[in-house]
Each structure stands twice: as C-alpha cells, then as structure tokens.
Chain A
Amino acid sequence: MTDTHYRFPPAAAYALNRCLYALKSDDAFRARFVADPDAAMAEHGLDVEACAALLAADRDALVARGAHPYLVFMADLRLRMARGTATFEYF
C-alpha cells in the first residue's frame, strides 16, 4: 500500500514524528517552540533537513521525510492557534 494517503511511519522518521506529536499535544513544548524553535527542535535531535522543512512548514518535504500527514496538519493548526495568526469562533 505504498500509494495510500496514510502510510506505515518509517522508523527513521521517529524523531521527526515525535517532535510533530509534541507540537500537536504538548502545550509546554509548543510554547518553547514558539519562543525558540531551534532549541526546541534540538530537544528531539532533528537533523538539519528536517529542521529546515519544519521551520518552513513545508508539508511535502516533511511527508517525504516520513512525517505522518495528520501530525503535520495538526501541528501546524495548533501552532497557528498558539501564535494567534488565525482567529477562531469557539462553540
């Protein structure tokens, strides 16, 4: 099933997915990332290419490196909520 939208996450991408998971679900980590992204990414030991893709919010580059698309999507949404760059009507 190599052409599916959601694929088996490669082990080599564990650190990247762990970082995206923290951006999505760990409020304290997300705050550290907003304040100092380089230091936050260093906590997860991301390589230079992964850091560049994450800083650029380059979905295609992240997914090509094994990032899970849903984690990319929700990490980005939660960052926009945290930064106040998008406005929401809460029900």
Chain B
Amino acid sequence: MLVGAFACAHTPQLIARPETEDRDLVLRVHAAFARVRRRLAMLQPDAIVMVAGDHVEAFFLDAVPALAVYVGAEAAGTFGPYTYRFPIHEPLARAIAEQGIERGFDLLYTQHARLDYAFFVPLHFTMPAPAVPIVPLHVNVYLPPQPTPRRCYAWGEALRDILGARPERVVLMASGGMSHYPGTERYASPDYDWDRRVLDALRDGRGVELAALTGEELDKAGNVELRTWITVLGAVGAGKAEIYCYEPSWHHGNAVVEWQCEPR
C-alpha cells in the first residue's frame, strides 16, 4: 500500500557546498529534508520507492532506457568523497518490474547498474533510522528523446495500482527539479515564476495538468527532471501537496513537497 509521497531536490551543492552557494539557503533545504525524515519515521514504510533521473551515470549512450527498475540485492554508487550502498526490497522491485511489463510498460531492469547521486542525495538527508530498503526507478530526463510527461503520469498511475495491491507499506519519492539548466548558457537564469505556478497547481491538487505539458515545455522551463515528479503525480492523483520549502538559489529552484496518502 502507498502510505506517503514526496518530491525532493537533489542539487549536488546541497551535499557538497562550494563557496558560491548561500549557506543559509542550503541549511533551510536541509531543514525541509529533516522534516521529511521525521515524517518517514512516523509513516514507518517497509520500503522507499524512489523515482529519479539518472544523470548519465548508470546509463551512458551505450544504452539509454526510458524507464528502468533496479532489481538487484543492493544498489551502490559514489559521488566525490561519498560511497553509498542501499539494500533493495527485492520482492517489491520484482513485482514492479513484472507487473509494469504486464501493464504495457516495456521496462529495462538491472541487477548491477550504478546508483546516481540523484538517488543518493535525498536518501542521505531523509533516510529514517533504522534504514529501510529502497527500490530505485529511473526515468530518462537528460538524453533526448525522453519519455513524454503523459507517459510518466501513466507510469505513476500504474505504480499506484501495483503498490496499492502490495502488502508492504511503501513511500514513493520523486527526486529532481525544479528549474535549472546545468551546462547551458541559462545556468544562472532559472525560471522561478514557472516553478511557482507549478507549485500553486500542486497545492491545489491540480497535478494532472502537468501530464499535458510537452517535453519541449519542460526543457524550456529548465524542468526536464520534473518527469520524476509527474510520475509520482500519476500515483497521488488529485492529492494536494504541502510545500515544505521552495528555495531559489542563483541557479536552482530547490523544492521539497509532500502529498499525504490514504492507504488504499
């Protein structure tokens, strides 16, 4: 059953802060992460299913899956001085892969791909104690052609049904966003107004509107990673979001959001 849903920024500057970053802003985002951590401790999930966009770490141009499920015993990776390793909830991961395929989603699955920092950063700050196993779900956000927002939303609807029929208490977490343009000439000019309009829609329970966006619109707004949020929105439907924080830095709209879920 789905017992909670969140969306979190994973900006690397939140974990490895260069002098260019406002320390107080970083700490305010950490405070929002701590709130998620406390909520996770209350929700007592058996697993965290995390939807993130691999930053061309596990999946380079040799093979580019639109959607992937990690089904190994564990998932591990490194980022700078950090080395991390998370056990995977194998029965849940396998159920997602099998039932996702059954429902028409041609998923890639992996038992050994590296785990990108997009997964690690939110888990570093929000994993409750004792730690719970995860199921990493990859959505291609950076290597065009990416899956459409409508497809991501439909995948989220399928996840809602798959998780809803499972005995485990599951928290769904999106990692990514909001507006940022890494590596481009727009890096210092994110579209914060666009972000705020999206957050207003989420607060009102109008998340389904995001499914109608085009990939081009997401790219223009610096929100290619919002595909991970849109996936979670497919699962939470008309649920109203609580915005824990929206902290625009000079290059990134950092948001942390929760949707409270009634177990189905």
Residues of A within 8 A of B (CB): 1, 4-9, 14, 17-18, 21, 24-25, 27, 59-60, 63, 68-74, 77-78, 81, 86-91
Contact = CB atoms under 8 A, between A and B. Distances in A.
A74 B183 CA distance: 8
Contacts of A8: 144-145
Nearest to B146: A6
Contacts, number: 92
Given A5-B220, A88-B16, 12 more contacts: A1-B215, A4-B144, A5-B186, A6-B219, A6-B224, A25-B57, A59-B183, A69-B184, A73-B183, A73-B187, A91-B14, A91-B16
Say whether chain B's binding surface is mostly helix, strand, loop, or mixed.
loop
B61 A17 contact: yes
Interface string B154-188: 00000000000000000000000000011111110
B60 A5 contact: no
B83 to A, nearest CB: 11
Interface residues of B, number: 39
B18 A71 contact: no
A71 B56 contact: yes
Contact of B15 (A70, A73, A77, A90): A90
Interface of B: 12, 14-19, 23, 26, 30, 55-57, 60-61, 78, 80-82, 114, 124-125, 142-145, 181-187, 215-216, 219-220, 222, 224
A70 B182 contact: yes
Nearest to B116: A25
A59 B184 CA distance: 8
A9 B143 contact: yes
A71 B183 CA distance: 8
B19 A87 contact: yes
B43 to A, nearest CB: 24
A75 B213 CA distance: 31
Contacts of A59: 183
4 closest A-B pairs by beta carbon, nearest first, are A69-B183, A73-B183, A89-B17, A4-B219
Contact of B219 (A1, A68, A71): A1
A77 B23 CA distance: 19
Which among A1, A8, A68, A70 has the greatest number of chain B C-beta atoms within 10 A? Answer: A70
Nearest to B81: A90
A86 B15 contact: no
